[in-house]
Structures are given as C-alpha cells and as structure tokens.
Amino acid sequence: MPSTTSKIITTAVGRRKTAIALVRLASGDGSITVNGLPAEKYFPGAMSKMHYEKPFKAAEVKKYSVSAKVLGGGPNGQLDALVLGISRALVKAKEGFRPLLRKEGLLTRDPRARQRRMVGTGGKARRQKQSPKR
C-alpha cells in the first residue's frame, strides 16, 4: 500500500473474465501492492512480473506506486485485470500516455468469457447428447 504521506492521484478499474481489479495510483517509488502483498509474492514468476510492469515500461515512467485490490476469477484473469487497471489509471493521470499504451494493446479490454451452459447439452456449453448407434 502507498504510505499515508503519498497522495492518491487517480483510481481505475480493470476487468477480465470474472476478475475485477480496483487500482489506486499514487506518487511514489514504483512499488506495486496487490491485496496487501507485494506483487512479486501475489503473482510469482518472471513472466507475471514482465506482464504487470508492461504499462510502466510502455509509458516509460517509474514515479508512481500502485495499490490494487483484486477480486474473483483465477490468477491469469486477475493478472490481466490488474494490467488493464494500471493502464487506465496511467491514462487518467496523464493523457499523453494514451497513444503509447494503445500501441502496446494495453487499453483494450479482452471480452472473452466463459460461454453459458445451453439447454439440452448435458451440462456443458457445446456438448451434444450422444446419438443412438443404430
């Protein structure tokens, strides 16, 4: 979390599948906190680290600290929601970041979600009932 002395600049929401990330951007040292934990612990691994730092690299900025609350979904959905939330918050903070983040594809919300179960499909979205053999 950003310290009480750092001033919150802006907030934004990122979504992916059923995950929601509420992101607060504050002036600071570039630390990222997710649900009270450092992002390195919440999203372990080098690939995850590259993914959630991508908005800052694209905008070429390090002077903001991020505090995020992430709800719902799985780890990948939460990570994508966090990245979208950070990108949106950066654009709110400074409109000049928009073309840089848009070029990297970080401001586009991924609409893919689980397809609902259809009637008569035996419990799955696209499964068909077995036809008789003869």
Structural domains in the chain? 8-103 (3.30.230.10)
pLDDT tens for residues 122-131? 888 988 887 7
pLDDT tens for residues 63-96? 999 999 999 999 999 999 999 999 999 999 999 9
In the block, tokens 């059923």 appear at: 18
pLDDT tens for residues 46-69? 999 999 999 999 999 989 999 999
HSE of 16, CA atoms in CB hemisphere, 13 A: 20
The structure tokens listed for 34 are 């997710």
Q: CB neighbours of 7 closer than 8 A, spacing ≥ 6?
A: 26, 27
Q: Is the pTM of this model over 0.75?
A: yes
How far is Cα 80 from Cα 100, in angstroms, rounded to an integer? Answer: 18
